[in-house]
Amino acid sequence: RIDDNLKALEFTINEIGAVENVRLNQSIGVDSIDQLVVGLVAKMPRWTPAKAFDGQVVKQQFEFTIALGMDGC
């Protein structure tokens, strides 16, 4: 099934634009690749933080889907 090849990578951009709480919702199946993916995201440069409707800077959670085994990753 295609759904078995989809993994979600989750992380938060905090109020100063730094990445935090990086995690995979399920292992890719190779520990070294799991660590590489999480490490790369954790080392991303600062982002512009999100703002609420009132202009207050807030944390924002992101989730990206990683597709595996379908002619590449």
End-to-end CA distance of the chain: 16
Statement: residue 18 has pLDDT above 70: yes
Scan for tokens 């590449």, then name that residue. 72
Q: Which two tokens stand for residue 38?
A: 């999480």
- Dist. CA 56–CA 50, nearest whole Å: 8
CA–CA distance, 10 with 20 (Å, rounded to integer): 10
pLDDT confidence band for 14 (50 / 70 / 90)? very high
Q: pLDDT for 56-67, tens place per residue?
A: 999 999 998 877
Helices (H), the chain: 31-42
